[in-house]
Structure 1
Amino acid sequence: MVRFEDLQLFVRTAALGSFSNVAREVGLLPGQVAAAIKRLERDLDVRLFARSTRSLRLTAEGEQYLPFAREVLATLQEGEDRMRRENTELQGLLQVSAPSDLGRNLLLPWLCEFRRQHPALDLRLLVSDQVADVFKDPVDIALRYGVFDDASYVALPLALWNRRVLVAAPDYLRRHGKPRTPEELRQHPCLLYSLSGRLYDRWRVGDETVQVAGPLFSNDAEIVRRWAIAGEGLAYKSWLDVHQDIEAGRLEPVLPEYRGEPTPLNLVCPHRKQYSPAVQQLHALLRARLEPLHARLAATGAWQQTPE
């Protein structure tokens, strides 16, 4: 049976080209390294190196075997690292930034669950609709809506299937009626949202982008949600932010036959080196909690294709 240590010495010998160099690196005698290579060759029944008094080079069989040896070692190392991470208690401080709706209404109980699972870990939740700068702000990770094609970030998917949905309170719809087409949105008071001074008053519904207007706007998405529940008008919100209201009957989907704008949710961190065990385990928990909501989105009727 091939020994793990022999594979390691084979890979290092192929890299350094000398038994002596490998021996110095790992604290063995050159003869011990040579013996390990001979043992591996005997186990495989092939000659891995062509040796002479002045040179050491891989044979054709050695060249062919080398990538497999590297892959085996990498897999074993990954398994060892994962076991070590899972068996190590999470400690320190994890700082998380999230949008206002998501942080207050969805993320909060999941973070409490995560904290109970890891009592030695301190969590700091920063809730704001202002987009956190993961390079400058005091955060380790940020939950963000949208598509990220900036190579300077690491964006880990959480809910790529998420979309915006048009919603209104049942009372509002009884008083004002339901719009039947995207164009009819212009006849309704729409609840508007601003971010960094930009007013989001162009709503993409199906294949159309409609310029909407209304007497109320806020820079806090949670306020827009509350206005919608109070019957003040139509809102165009991330389904994750309003699905509980839809299921409880506080809000109803409007024009569900028109596909809403994609609003994928990602976990963003500055660099893969900051993908710590705490971040990995939180990412796994959030994906596990979010995935069942995918089917519930389809059940609302707000996941249908745009009509022809």
Structure 2
Amino acid sequence: MTQQPPPAGPADPPDGPAPPDLPERVARVYGEFDLSTVPAFAGGFINFGYWTGLPGPADRELTTADRVRSEEDLYRLVLGTFDRPRGRTALDVGCGRGLGCALALREFGLEPVIGLDAHPDQIARARDANADLLPAAGGSPGRLEFLLGAAQRIPLPDGSVDCLFSVEAAQHFRDLPGFAREAARVLRPGGRLALTTFFARTRAAARALPELLPPYADGLDVPHVVDEVAASLTAAGLREVRVRPIGDGVWEPYDRYMAQQPELRDDEWPRRYLTAYETGLLDYYLLTAAAG
């Protein structure tokens, strides 16, 4: 059984037009398919997880609870880069079901938190999953809200956000320089950006990845090169751009978890990410930067 989106093929046409700004493959995976419901992404989060903070011996068998904790801990790693976050306005670009937004509000005191996603189905799911945190109809602005919009056209005024974060979404962005410019625009002077996802290590690696990993071949993901991503942030006017590889806390434990779950271990292609990491094609990165 496939626990992550099956590779697209001739028998996999889109059902109706893709939402604006979304390739058909992205529209279907996050719409009809609803990636957040598959067992490989336990708990409704959609990320590979950051596994270094799990309790117990490093070689113990990993559980579903560990999988959920790893996904939450990836958000905690990102949000932990913000200095004195309590009471500061935050924007999550590519928020999915908004579970990371709720975590930012609950554990870090960021407020208000705005979740942005380009897929209308994800915005609907986020509003449903976090209904208790949303303002009442006609009421005053709440602590949490969700907006439909693209990363390269953020529907917020200039200088309206203190903290901007994005967790495992930028691999879908077709226009990363556009996102970088928008991030620089909406951040207040002194605001901070924190971005984490997987990127190709070199241009040669970017060319090789579609041969190994179907999401790059079928249009779900874009093999952005990490140095070029960092350069885009700098070119947009952000400063103090820092790149931290964190793959040693992602790929091997994620693959070990997959191997230990009977319903997941036969999903061969998702486990090629460890191969891509070990052969130097890609890694997982945490990028941070400051505005103005």
Q: Which of structures 1 and 2 has the bigger CA Rg?
A: 1
TM-score (ref. length: structure 2): 0.33
More helix by share: 1
